[in-house]
């Protein structure tokens, strides 16, 4: 795959969006426009999220064991990002950042099961602006299919409360799927993408915004026998004293599940091609956080964080740095690798920019406009902030991060609120985060730690576990 070959100018759509951001030529289209007007020229958007997929889990990111031919082709048809960060190391807050354009801690979304009063998370949809709702009000058709996990199960209102017109989820909010039979896990991606294809088939004159959120490769992983026989997976068998056993290895199960997700992503991209929608549709594929922890006998734990330290629930890069592929034929260059710093929180501002939708009166977003998502160059200049307030149970000590983290430029700072475990890494020189240079750069530590602590103090109150940011689990008498 080629490295960056040439500078790219933003498309006419992007330039129009920039004028909107600058307040020079902003038009907010209405739902009443007729076919053939400006309404149809605005781009469509598709956000495909995997669940617990690691940076190194795709063949196009160097994985030799997992077969992802359709995602590899997507990389050849567009841009592969090497420095794409999500905004939390677990599910719910990461997803909230994509749809709000704000760091999730500002929303009171600190961990999984957002909206759970026991966890101190009581945000309601009306308390901030949500991307589907803003787009729906500006004339977009909106859809969401698959995992939701944005509210505590049984206590939320589902995607409809966030402006999603057509939705079906895997959580008990709104219309969903019956999952009592054992085939659900193997069939989940096909069923979810079937709904996304139905959404495309029922398109009208309006542009659309579509979330397709897969549960793969989150545990439990239980591919069908047919999926286990794809490609080289059929030869991945566990070994016993007398030779190979007829038992699939964890990698065989994991890889088969990821390949099934890959197949269904291909179905969606092919449908865009067949309907003549690809050249007007920006597609982003990524994951919500890093791979599950290294737990024996759990096939989800063989996920690959690439070369990076950390996994799910950790603020080292293995927990928050994700594979990310961008496809938009004619606007995004083909077969390029970009190293620009981009984040999930930037999705909100970028989509509104390209959709030529203004958001008057909204507080300053944490997300930046990301030109790399539509063919331009340049990453974000502002810092990224993270927090993880809970125990990192199951993580081996080297992957257990401090509670707070910041990245600005090539610097990555991690620390606890009491200023213990201060770690500073120069990611340009040390992308593995193993050489702590805090003592050699006191001025940088002072400047970055002041910024990080100001961010931490600005967040709404919420739970903080005694174990947060510790290298080892506390002893029983310390709890």
pLDDT at 475: 57
Mean pLDDT lowest among 6-10, 182-186, 255-259, 408-412: 6-10
Residue 421 shares a structural domain with residue 282: no
Domain count along the chain:
2
pLDDT reading at 473 higher than 60:
yes
pLDDT score for 478: 55
Residue 165 domain-assigned (yes or no): yes
Alpha-carbon gap, residue 448 to 442, rounded angstroms: 10
pLDDT at position 292 is 93
- The pLDDT value recorded for residue 278 is 97
Task: Give the CA count within 13 Å in the CB-facing half-sphere of 240.
Answer: 6
- Does one domain contain both 372 and 466? no
pLDDT of 248 strictly over 70 = yes
**pLDDT for the residue numbered 21:** 31
Does residue 210 sit in the same domain as residue 103? yes
Of the CA atoms within 13 Å of residue 441, those in its CB half-sphere come to 17
Based on the domain organization, do 467 and 327 belong to the same domain?
Answer: no
* Rounded distance between C-alpha atoms, residue 74 and residue 372, angstroms: 16
Strand partners, 81: 324, 338
Residues 323 and 411 in one domain: no
* Residue 394 pLDDT grade (very low, low, confident, very high; cuts 50, 70, 90): confident
Domain that holds residue 308: 12-380
* 226 and 111 in a common domain: yes
Asked if residue 27 has pLDDT above 70, the reply is no
Query: Is residue 431 domain-resident?
Result: yes
**Residue 266, in any domain of the structure:** yes
If you average pLDDT over residues 411-424, what whole number do you get? 97
With a cut of 70, say whether residue 22 has pLDDT above it.
no
Of 20, 60, 91, 144, catalytic: 91
363: confidence class by pLDDT, cuts 50, 70, 90: low
Same domain, 345 and 404: no
Q: What's the pLDDT band for 393 if we cut at 50, 70, 90?
A: confident
3-class DSSP state for residue 428?
coil
Label residue 31 by pLDDT band (50, 70, 90): very low
Least confident of 132-141, 149-158, 292-301, 425-434: 149-158
**Quick one: 196 and 263 in the same domain?**
yes
List, for residues 50-73, the tens digit of each pLDDT value: 999 999 999 999 999 999 999 999
* Cα separation values, 470 from 79, 120, 238, 290, 462, Å: 38, 22, 36, 19, 18
pLDDT at residue 281, rounded to an integer: 98
Report yes or no on 153 lying in a domain. Answer: yes
Instruction: Report how far apart, in Å, the C-alpha atoms of 365 and of each of 95, 159, 242, 273 are.
Output: 16, 22, 61, 34
3-state helix vs strand vs coil in the chain, percent to 5: 35, 15, 50
Q: How confident is the model at residue 435 (pLDDT cuts 50, 70, 90)?
A: very high
Q: Do 164 and 144 touch, CB atoms closer than 8 A?
A: yes
User: Any catalytic annotation for residue 20?
Assistant: no
SS3 246: strand
The string of pLDDT tens digits covering residues 151-209 is 655 556 788 888 999 999 886 566 677 665 557 889 999 999 999 999 999 989 999 99
- Report in angstroms the alpha-carbon separations of 59 from 43, 67, 342, 353, 439: 29, 6, 21, 32, 38
**pTM for the whole structure:** 0.89
Is residue 235 domain-shared with residue 301, that is, in the same domain? yes
In a domain, 7, yes or no: no
Going by C-beta distance under 8 Å and a sequence separation of 6 or more, which residues neighbour residue 36?
none
Choosing from 380, 405, 433, the residue where a domain stops is 380
Residue predicted with more confidence, 476 or 30:
476
67 and 205 both lie in a single domain: yes
The packing angle between helices 250-274 and 69-77, to 10°, is 50
Report the CATH number at residue 426: 3.30.1120.10
CB within 8 Å of 376: residues ≥ 6 apart: 8, 9, 10, 14
Rounded to the nearest 5°, which phi and psi values hold at 240? Answer: -120, -175
Does 91 qualify as catalytic in the annotation?
A: yes
Q: What does pLDDT average to over the chain?
A: 85
Domain end marker among 380, 408, 438: 380
Has residue 150 been placed in a domain?
A: yes
Percent of the chain with pLDDT over 70: 80
- Asked whether residue 469 carries a pLDDT value surpassing 50, the answer given is yes
Q: Are residues 257 and 145 in the same domain?
A: yes
Give the model's pLDDT for residue 29: 36
Last residue of a domain, one of 380, 415, 440: 380
Does the residue 424 lie in any domain?
yes
- The phi, psi pair for 459, rounded to 5°, reads -80, 150
> What's the confidence (pLDDT) of residue 177?
76
Query: pLDDT by residue (tens digit) across 295-325?
Result: 755 678 899 999 999 999 999 999 999 999 9
Given the residues 110, 144, 149, 167, the one annotated as active site: 149
Compute the half-sphere exposure of residue 416: CA atoms within 13 Å on the CB side of its CA: 15
Question: Residue 44 is part of a domain; what is its CATH number?
Answer: 3.40.720.10
205/141 same-domain check? yes
The pLDDT of residue 155 is 58
In 3D, which of 69, 32, 473 has the Cα closest to residue 266? 69
Residue 330 resides in a domain: yes
pLDDT value of residue 75: 98
pLDDT value, residue 447? 98
Q: Is 376 helix (H, G, I), strand (E, B) or coil?
A: coil
Rounded distance between C-alpha atoms, residue 386 and residue 393, angstroms: 18
Q: Which residue has the higher pLDDT, 397 or 15?
A: 397
């Amino acid at each position: 795959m080629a490295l960056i070959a040439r500078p790219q100018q933003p498309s006419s759509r992007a330039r129009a969006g920039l004028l909107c951001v600058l307040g020079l030529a902003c038009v907010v289209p209405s739902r009443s426009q007729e076919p053939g007007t400006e309404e149809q020229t605005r781009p469509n958007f598709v956000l495909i999220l995997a669940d617990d997929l690691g940076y190194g889990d795709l063949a196009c990111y160097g994985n030799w064991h997992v077969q992802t031919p359709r995602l590899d082709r997507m990389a050849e048809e567009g841009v592969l990002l090497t420095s794409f960060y999500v905004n939390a190391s677990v599910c719910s807050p990461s997803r909230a950042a994509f749809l709000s354009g704000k760091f999730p801690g500002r929303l009171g979304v600190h961990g999984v099961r957002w909206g759970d009063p026991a966890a101190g998370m009581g945000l309601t949809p009306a308390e901030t602006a949500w991307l589907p709702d803003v787009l729906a009000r500006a004339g977009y058709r909106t859809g969401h299919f698959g995992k939701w996990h944005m509210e505590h199960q049984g206590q939320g209102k589902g995607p409809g409360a966030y402006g999603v017109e057509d939705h079906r989820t895997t959580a008990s909010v709104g219309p969903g799927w019956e999952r009592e039979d054992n085939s659900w896990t193997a069939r989940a991606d096909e069923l979810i993408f079937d709904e996304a294809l139905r959404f495309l088939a029922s398109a009208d004159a309006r542009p659309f915004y579509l979330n397709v959120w897969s549960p793969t490769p989150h545990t439990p992983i239980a591919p069908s026998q047919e999926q286990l026989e794809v490609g080289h997976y059929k030869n991945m068998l566990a070994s016993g004293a007398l030779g190979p056993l007829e038992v699939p290895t964890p990698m065989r199960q994991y890889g088969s599940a990821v390949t099934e997700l890959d197949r269904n992503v291909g179905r969606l991209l092919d449908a865009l091609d067949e309907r003549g929608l690809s050249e007007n549709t920006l597609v982003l594929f990524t994951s919500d956080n890093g791979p599950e922890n290294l737990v024996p006998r759990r096939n989800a734990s063989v996920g690959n964080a690439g070369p990076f330290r950390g996994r799910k629930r950790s603020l080292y890069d293995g927990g928050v740095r994700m594979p990310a592929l961008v496809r938009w034929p004619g606007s995004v260059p083909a077969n390029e690798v970009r190293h620009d710093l981009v984040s999930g929180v930037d999705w909100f501002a970028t989509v509104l920019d390209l959709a030529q939708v203004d958001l008057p009166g909204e507080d300053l977003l944490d997300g930046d406009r990301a030109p790399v998502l539509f063919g331009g160059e340049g990453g974000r200049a502002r810092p990224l902030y993270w927090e993880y307030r809970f125990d990192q149970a199951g993580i081996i000590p080297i992957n257990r991060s401090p509670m707070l983290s910041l990245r600005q430029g090539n610097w990555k700072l991690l620390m606890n609120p009491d200023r213990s475990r201060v770690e500073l890494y120069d990611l340009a020189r040390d992308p593995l985060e193993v050489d702590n240079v805090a003592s050699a750069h006191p001025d940088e530590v002072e400047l970055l730690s002041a910024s990080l602590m100001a961010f931490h103090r600005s967040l709404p109150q919420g739970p903080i576990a005694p174990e947060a940011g510790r290298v080892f689990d506390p002893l029983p008498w310390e709890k």
